[in-house]
Amino acid sequence: MVSTTCIPPKKLNKTYQRVSAHLALYHQQFSNPIPKGLTRDGNSDFFIFSTGRRNLASLHTIFTLRPRHDFLQILFQTARTLIELPYRPFDDLQLDFKLAPGTLNDNFVFAIVAKDELLSIKDSRWDLVK
């Protein structure tokens, strides 16, 4: 089991500074953003949980960054890009919005996706149609 820790603002490193640049926006848009602060799981995963916006039950934000601190992982990813042409390592931001009950009547999926990834997503998700 991986433990999560809350990062104190006194110990700012480059990764935390990159992620914390988004915190001002969360404080502007939500009445109760980040009740415990920015949560960190390892050296490359960060979580933010926000509530307090009309018609929105919660927003769970996940920052998954490339492991720039780990030389072996960077070396592995570089070698993999030479072998697998479609493989591209990148930083990932996932926003998981949970709407308030009764906001919408029908089930739906809304996503912003890069064109080159759309085909693989449609193949892996049986519930998405054209």
Q: In 3D, which of 68, 55, 63 has the Cα closest to residue 97? A: 55
- b/e string for 77-95 if b means 16 or more Cβ within 10 A? beeeeeeeeeeeeeeeeee
- pTM of the entire predicted model: 0.63
Residue 13 — φ and ψ, nearest 5°?
A: -120, 180
Q: Is the pLDDT of residue 129 over 50?
A: yes
**Residue 23 belongs to what domain range?**
5-124
Q: Is the pLDDT of residue 40 over 50?
A: yes
**129 in a domain, yes or no?**
no
**80 in a domain, yes or no?**
yes
What local confidence, expressed as pLDDT, does residue 130 receive?
57
pLDDT (tens digit, 9 = 90+) per residue, 45-86? 888 888 888 888 888 888 888 887 778 888 988 899 899 887
**31 in a domain, yes or no?**
yes
**111 in a domain, yes or no?**
yes
Which region, left, alpha or beta, applies to residue 35 given φ > 0 means left and ψ of -120 to 50 means alpha?
A: alpha
**130 in a domain, yes or no?**
no
Non-local CB neighbours of 5 within 8 Å, separated by 6+ positions: 39, 40
What local confidence, expressed as pLDDT, does residue 56 receive?
85
Residue type, 113: V
pLDDT (tens digit, 9 = 90+) per residue, 83-120? 988 787 888 888 888 888 877 777 777 777 777 777 77
The domain total for the chain is 1
Q: Report d(CA 93, CA 82) in Å as an integer.
A: 25
What local confidence, expressed as pLDDT, does residue 13 receive?
66
